[in-house]
Structures are given as C-alpha cells and as structure tokens.
C-alpha cells in the first residue's frame, strides 16, 4: 500500500470513464468506498493515503472528473 498507488489511481481514473461512472455511483449511493473500487482495478492504498492523495490534488490541478465531484458536492469517502 502506498501513496504512490493512490496517486496512480487518480491518474487512472482521470483516463477511464468506466471507473469514473463506478465511483460516481458508489459515492452517490455510499455503496462502496473509493479504496474498494481502486482494489478492483488493481490499486492498493489505505484510507489515509487516499486522503493524502486527494488533499495533494486539491493543491494542484484537479482533473475534469475531480472538478465534477467537487462541484457536485458528492460525498467522498476514500477509506477502505
């Protein structure tokens, strides 16, 4: 598990519309946590590492998907 994995997952999601849809749906319904979705796609990180990656992303440039999540007010749970 690593922060590198959490950051790599951010990059992966920014390029993968299916993963974006899956995350949107999970966050809207609270049916799964982001780290669980990440694991299904081969990424492994702790909830703390996911939070660190999210916090660091907000200090930099967010992807269009991440901007949609922020603008839409989606509940985000990066935990496992």
Range of the domain at 14: 3-71
**pLDDT tens digits, the chain, 80 residues: what are they?**
588 999 899 889 989 999 989 988 887 777 678 888 899 999 998 878 888 887 777 777 777 777 777 666 554 455 54
Query: Residue 73: left if φ>0, alpha if ψ -120 to 50, beta else—which one?
Result: left
Q: List the structure tokens of 38.
A: 């990440």
Whether 76 is covered by a domain: the verdict is no
What is the tally of structural domains in the chain? 1
pLDDT for the residue 27: 77
pLDDT for the residue 17: 92
Whether 55 is covered by a domain: the verdict is yes
pLDDT for the residue 80: 44
User: CA 29 to CA 4: how far, in whole Å?
Assistant: 27
pLDDT for the residue 68: 76
């Amino acid at each position: 598990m690593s922060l590198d994995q959490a950051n790599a997952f951010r990059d992966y999601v920014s390029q993968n519309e299916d993963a974006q849809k899956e995350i949107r749906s999970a966050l809207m319904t609270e049916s799964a946590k982001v780290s669980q979705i990440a694991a299904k796609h081969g990424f492994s990180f702790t909830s703390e590492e996911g939070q660190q990656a999210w916090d660091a992303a907000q200090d930099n440039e967010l992807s269009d998907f991440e901007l949609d999540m922020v603008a839409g007010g989606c509940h985000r749970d990066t935990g496992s």
